[in-house]
Amino acid sequence: MERILAEHVPDVEVLGLDDVDDYDEPAEDEATFEGNALLKARAGVAATGLPTIADDSGLCVDALNGMPGVLSARWAGRMKSDTANNELLLDQMHDVPDARRGAHFRCAVAWVLPDGTERVVEGRMAGRIIREMRGSGGFGYDVLFVPEEYATSGLTSAEMLPQEKDRISHRGRALREIAPLVAADLRDRD
């Protein structure tokens, strides 16, 4: 988030969770990405008094009726293991033909101000699920996901440079969309 927002609002210091006093983060128990992002951003404002950006994202697989969706991080259980999640997804899609392996990553980014102003945008990255894990970058399902823009080369999200992934990713798209709103809201506060 800091890397992408710095391109659009360079005069604002971006703080992460490690830069503020610890607070109890809420359980992500909403039914939508938007709901979870707002839940986390509201908690950040309540705990710090600072304008807060939070996101929620996940993988939506066509052949699984959009699942794992908001359950992406916990798809294989409460342990939040990327390896277990990927192995379960591969097992569930074992007999799904290549033509039906479409999927997309979704990301909702929420921007909440102490005055109660709330904005939410969404980004998507379309692609497909491959049959084996490849790559060591990124996290989560990146090792199984080939973005639409890389369909010819077959490069997974986990094999991409971070800057290239930022350019096409669901999170990158959402952050680039919300950055001008953040800048405008911060100017209005001054």
Give the tens place of pLDDT for each residue, 121-149.
999 999 999 999 999 988 899 999 999 99
| Whether the Cβ atoms of residue 138 and residue 158 lie closer than 8 Å to each other | yes
Single out the catalytic residue among 24, 55, 56, 62.
56
Between 7 and 183, whose confidence is greater? 183
Q: What are the sequence ranges of the domains in the chain?
A: 2-189
Show the 3-state SS of the chain. CHHHHHHHCCCCCCCCHHHCCCCCCCCCCCCCHHHHHHHHHHHHHHHHCCCEEEEEEEEEEHHHCCCEHHHHHHCCCCCCCHHHHHHHHHHHCCCCCHHHCEEEEEEEEEEECCCCCEEEEEEEEEEEECCCCCCCCCCHHHHHEEEHHHCCCCCCHHHCCHHHHHHHCHHHHHHHHHHHHHHHHHHHHC
Domain 2-189 classified CATH 3.40.50.300?
no
> Which amino acid type is present at position 151?
A
> Which amino acid type is present at position 189?
R
Question: In angstroms, rounded to a whole number, what is the distance separating the alpha carbons of residues 164 and 160?
Answer: 6
Does the active-site annotation cover 55?
Answer: no
Find out whether 165 is annotated in a ligand binding site: yes
Question: In angstroms, rounded to a whole number, what is the distance separating the alpha carbons of residues 157 and 164?
Answer: 9
Q: What percent of the chain has pLDDT over 90?
A: 72
pLDDT at residue number 31: 96
pLDDT at residue number 190: 60
Give the mean model confidence (pLDDT) for residues 138-161.
95
> Which amino acid type is present at position 19?
D
Find out whether 33 is annotated in a ligand binding site: no
Find out whether 49 is annotated in a ligand binding site: no
- pLDDT band at 15, cuts 50/70/90? confident
Give the mean model confidence (pLDDT) for residues 148-172.
93
Find out whether 153 is annotated in a ligand binding site: no
